[in-house]
Amino acid sequence: MYGNVHPEQQVVILWQEITINCYSSSSVRWKKNGKILSKGPDRTISNKLTILYAKYSDAGTYECKGHREDNQVFTAKAEVLVAGSITGYFLNLLYITKSDLDYDSSRILPGSVKKYVGESITLTCQSDGEAIWYYNTQGKPPKTISIFSGDTYSIIIANKKHEGYYFCYGKYEASDELFLARVKVIIIGKICNY
């Protein structure tokens, strides 16, 4: 049935896709927080609005204006919240690549980790402000959602699934420059069942 949007409310995790459908018998016009939206490198606009990588700045009230079957004009609204724990100066991290930001592994302690199964691991990111942690097994700069935010990331009982690369994005003291630090975690041994 024409004259509404779906979903009317959604919570999206940082960097995931936002999709809102506007059910109209004709093309529609989209607004966000009262301002007209246009297409962009990560945003497509038609009767379906798609934002490929949600940022905190994408949270807000989206409005579509279209026509019902009887050609009456309607306006429908959708609320979008972007969830995660990340501070303002990290908003553009999605666009940072390895060539833009070199690793500064002196910012993460310890510099390398080799632990036995069952031991605990504590990683510290030396950031002026909240650090954002990521994990993957390839060692490439992350393009996924964060696993944790805060200066210290801890694993209480390590096992083989914790093996891989841990990254932290942070901010240097007394500047707005960002850094990316990486440490490889190796887990030795396996759990024995007696």
Q: Flag whether 142 is in a domain.
A: yes
Structure tokens at 3: 């004259």
Give the pLDDT of residue 95: 33
Are residue 80 and residue 93 in the same domain, yes or no? no
pLDDT at position 78 is 92
Q: What is the CATH number of the domain that holds 56?
A: 2.60.40.10
More confident residue, 70 or 177: 70
Domain endpoint, select from 49, 84, 119 = 84
Residue 6 token pair: 């779906």
The answer to whether residue 37 sits within a structural domain is yes
C-alpha to C-alpha distance for 14 and 167, rounded to whole angstroms: 17
Q: Which of 45, 68, 84 is the last residue of a domain?
A: 84
Residue type, 24: S
**Mode of pairing for the β-strands spanning 113-116 and 148-149:** unpaired
Contact 171, 127 (CB under 8 A): yes
Domain boundary at 84, 102, 117, which?
Answer: 84
CA distance 94 to 85: 15
Q: Nearest-5° angle of CA 156, CA 162, CA 167? A: 100
* Domain membership flag for residue 194: no
For position 171, what pLDDT does the model report? Answer: 73
**Domain ranges, residue 31:** 4-84
pTM of the model: 0.47
For residue 130, count other CB atoms closer than 10 A to its CB. 18
Tokens linked to 190: 């396996």
User: 91: number of CA atoms within 13 Å, CB side?
Assistant: 8
Judging by DSSP bridges, how do beta strands 29-32 and 60-67 pair with one another? antiparallel
**123 in a structural domain:** yes
Domain-embedded: residue 48: yes
Residues 13 and 75 in one domain: yes
Give the Cα separation of 177 and 156 in Å (integer): 32
193 in a domain, yes or no?
Answer: no
Question: Could you tell me which of 64, 62, 69, 83 has the C-alpha nearest to residue 16?
Answer: 83
Report pLDDT digits (tens) over 71-114: 899 999 998 877 654 333 333 333 333 333 456 667 777 777 88
- Give pLDDT, residue 31: 95
Residue 100 is predicted with a pLDDT of 39
The mean-pLDDT minimum among 6-15, 53-62, 68-77, 138-147 falls in: 138-147
Domain assignment of residue 177, yes or no: yes
133, 167 contact by CB (below 8 A): yes
Q: Quick one: tokens of 45? A: 């606009």
Identity of the amino acid at 79 = E
Q: Are residues 178 and 93 in the same domain?
A: yes
Total of domains in the chain:
2
Say whether both 101 and 48 belong to one domain: no
Distance CA(64)–CA(80), nearest Å, equals: 14
